[in-house]
Structure 1
Amino acid sequence: MTREIDRSPARLSSALAVTAAALSAGTSALASTLALAGGAAGLLAVTLGVVRGSRRAVTLGAAALLVGALVGGLLSGAPLLLLPGVIATVLAWDLGEQAINVGEQLGREAETTQLEATHAAGSTVVAVGAGGLGYGIFLVSSGVSQ
């Protein structure tokens, strides 16, 4: 008797995507209530996306998170709040897509912890590095010394 393979999104990447979305929504909440609304909607959509395996929901959620982070950055005037929100948004989208891809290609029951952790670590290094570089360019171009 053949057993059907469960093609649901991978657990670790799903959990990491929701965690990143929560971090993005949290930084938006520090800025304003309006930014929090976008962040909360994004968190809900990313969560539903990784539970249901919906790329559309993950992408729409990431877009809402990005809007929340940008609104928060504009309203607060603090780029230090904007930066972690945008980085976490990118990670939420990337890790949500990874969860869906791994589930579709290998199945949920396959041992993919090392694969998912390596992808998450690499994505985090790239996102934080790009954010740090962007912030450094901002500081140099604005003449702000910190």
Structure 2
Amino acid sequence: MGIAVLVAATIAAGLVAGLFYAYSISVMPGLARGDDKTFVEGMRGINIAIINGWFMLAFLGAPLLAAVAGVLHLNAGATLWWVVAGFACLLATIVVTRAVHIPLNDALDAGRDGYAELRARFESSWVRWNVLRTVVSLAGFGCLVAALVSRARA
């Protein structure tokens, strides 16, 4: 049971890290090429589309599954520490999203100023914090991969 939960946590973490990586290398650079209206309306559409069961399953499921995997590996030495590190990174990803990205997204969605003003208050901060979120989620995924390797060697 413990290995199945760890594998599921690792897959979910990989999906989340891949999503944020895709934002970093394609979505945001692609939107940046558009004019202010295209950028703002594009992000507003993405903010609506991203809130769905598949995203939430991976985004919230990864740290939850990592926590369960940690409990199931309490006596597993190095494997446990890799799981704990992965969980901490995945939790940090949620914290950054909640503390930075959601308020920025909400302000963009509610904003009634001109497109240029909305974009100016949003884009650079959102992109900068997404780079951090990408690195932290990738670290969480890497830690869970290391936990799987550690477990396989045990």
Fold shared per TM-score above 0.5:
no
TM-score normalized with structure 2 length: 0.37
- When Rg is computed on C-alpha atoms for both structures, the one with the higher figure is 2
